Structure 1
Amino acid sequence: MVEADIYEIHDARFRQMIVTSARLDELYSGCRWAEGPVWFNDANQLLWSDIPNQRMMRWTPEGGVSVYRQPSNFTNGHTRDRQGRLISCEHGMRRLTRTEVDGSITVLADRFGSARLNSPNDVVVKSDGTIWFTDPTYGIMSDYEGYRAEPEQPTRNVYRLDPTTGELAAVVTDFIQPNGLAFSPNETTLYVADSAASHDESLPRHIRAFDVVDGRRLANGRVFCLIDNGIPDGIRTDVNGNLWSSAGDGVHCFDPTGKLIGKIRVPQTVANLTFGGPKRNRLFIAATRSLYAIYVAVTGSQLP
């Protein structure tokens, strides 16, 4: 991709957030649906999901790409907890899991009330250790990204899990298809994508914002921004509070008021993204068949 064709400038501020000479590097091509990138700075590696192929992949600057785990139970989104352990959303087993340091798997949540979860999709961890995740029905809609099944939950929720007590609470219950989620740098706002337009263009393709109350509850839900090409899926924030979203034509960047200030064009539909590298200034992009990366002039806010 020619460098001049990568960026779409909607606001002069975006020029200060990009490296105009940076290339969009394709690190790997061979996925069926790339998703859920998570950076491990202590291991200098990126993990991501190739959902339909039932595998988790690993990329390192020195060794390139290898298979990290297969079968993967159709894992989708990933993050790390405050102890650096991998937290994963599994479509296949309809559960949220943690990979322990010895490689064993701990089930964190697979039911709400007496019913099974739909198919946990994406996940973030707050600084207090609580785990927040979305539960749409994508993983049970067909046998391509999971196992076809009827939903047991009456709604498609955003959940908060306290891993110490095991308490699982539905903090938002009015989404059609909740998807990616990210906290603002000061954790006073939680952003959640609704990607329902993926299967019905008349349905939402927006990102909502919620006030985080007492670190436990969400209030004042409102539409933060709309995606004008494709749908919002995975999202991240940078240290200045800008929100970076996946979209049909690449990565869209919004300022803290919800104004679109620029895009990074990507040749394939983007599903998810994360900031990584030693300085968290390299944007890793999971886009359909490929994993891409590009350096930017901002730093991602997520920890660790």
Structure 2
Amino acid sequence: MPAELYDIRDDRFKKLIHGNAGMDTLSTGGRWTEGPAYFPAGRYLIWSDIPNDRIMRWDEMNGAVSVFEQPCRNHNGHTVDALGRMIACEHRGRCISRYEFDGSRTVLANSYDGKKLNSPNDVTVKSDGSIWFSDPSYGIDSDYEGDAAPMEQDGRHVYRIDPDGTITRVIDDMRQPNGLAFSPDESALFVADTGRTHFPDCDPVIRRYPLAADGRSVGQGENFVTCDTGLFDGFRFDTKGNIWSSAGDGVHCFAPDGTLLGKILIDEVVANLCFGGAKRNRLFICSTTSLRAIYVNARGAG
């Protein structure tokens, strides 16, 4: 297997990769690519190009790349709910929105406690239909990825939207909560903290929060893994509980016990990733200016 593509730290990683599966570059020309989400019914992928204020679309059938929406209110993270609808984090919209089957847009959350959200960043949907999202300040820090504006919340937190529309703050002990995902059994919520961009003393970690018995709140969090190159941003679980995370030098893969198994090395900073394809065994990677993909010997959870 090509030495320049993989950094193997544990023999278990060899079973999660294909030595003859090279990296594909599917699209270039972005400024800061983010928020990939795969739509199995249409066999296409969408992702954000935040500073260019556009959502891009890649067609799995013919490889065509097109603009899905522009302007798009500086979307960042995306996910797909159980009905196949797109859930979006909007920096400039300062909200979580949902794209309906008829193409209309529904705002699901744009405030908490009567004050505007900062700039929702990443989002995940739990099996009970609740939507959990992070709300750091990147979209209001400048005009590059949104609209510069004062923060109305008392910090940067994680929230839950219930199916009835109720919005609850679930995590308030992070500096800049960013990527987030549930473990495959939904026993814990994992959240990346990119607070080092604003607070030099903040460790670049993914934190683990155990879910309460009711599945609607979390217990005390703990640092789970620390990034050795750059920052963790978006990440996903595979069905075996391994974490595949973005980092400064590519994609880092961690075992369920937190051991760094290995890295997929990329010559750009990786912001986010997701699993897709007919077998959910293709990793789609947003790496600064480009969208890349590689087949792995793992299937995405969820």
TM-score of the two chains, using structure 2 as the length reference: 0.98
**Distance in 2 between the 1:160 and 1:145 partners?**
24
Please name the residue that 2:28 is paired with. Answer: 29
**Distance in 2 between the 1:3 and 1:188 partners?**
37
State the AA in 1 paired with 2:40.
N
**Distance in 2 between the 1:155 and 1:200 partners?**
13
The percentage of counterpart residues that share the same residue type is 53
**Distance in 2 between the 1:3 and 1:12 partners?**
16
Deviation by residue 1:88-125 (Cα, 9 ceiling, x = unmatched): 00000100000001110000000001100000000000
Please name the residue that 1:208 is paired with. Answer: 207
Deviation by residue 1:24-63 (Cα, 9 ceiling, x = unmatched): 1111110000000000111000000000001000001214
SS of residue paired to 1:217: coil
Please name the residue that 2:43 is paired with. Answer: 44
Please name the residue that 2:80 is paired with. Answer: 80
Please name the residue that 2:128 is paired with. Answer: 128
Please name the residue that 1:223 is paired with. Answer: 223
Q: 2:250 matched to 1:253?
A: no
**Distance in 2 between the 1:100 and 1:173 partners?**
31
Give the deviation of 1:220 after TM superposition: 2.9
Deviation by residue 1:136-169 (Cα, 9 ceiling, x = unmatched): 000000000000011000021110101x311100
TM-score of the two chains, using structure 1 as the length reference: 0.97
State the AA in 2 paired with 1:299.
R
Q: How many residues align?
A: 300
Contact kept, 8 Å, 1:26 with 1:292, in 2: the verdict is yes
Please name the residue that 1:168 is paired with. Answer: 167
State the AA in 2 paired with 1:168.
I
Contact kept, 8 Å, 1:155 with 1:174, in 2: the verdict is no
Q: 2:233 matched to 1:233?
A: yes
**Distance in 2 between the 1:197 and 1:255 partners?**
24
Considering only aligned residues, what root-mean-square deviation do their CA atoms show, in Å?
1.0
**Distance in 2 between the 1:175 and 1:261 partners?**
26
For structure 2, the residue ranges without an aligned partner over 5 or more in a row are: none
For structure 1, the residue ranges without an aligned partner over 5 or more in a row are: none
State the AA in 2 paired with 1:271.
A
Q: 2:29 matched to 1:20?
A: no
State the AA in 2 paired with 1:111.
S
Contact kept, 8 Å, 2:26 with 2:63, in 1: the verdict is no
Give the deviation of 1:18 after TM superposition: 0.4
Contact kept, 8 Å, 1:3 with 1:22, in 2: the verdict is no
State the AA in 2 paired with 1:8.
D
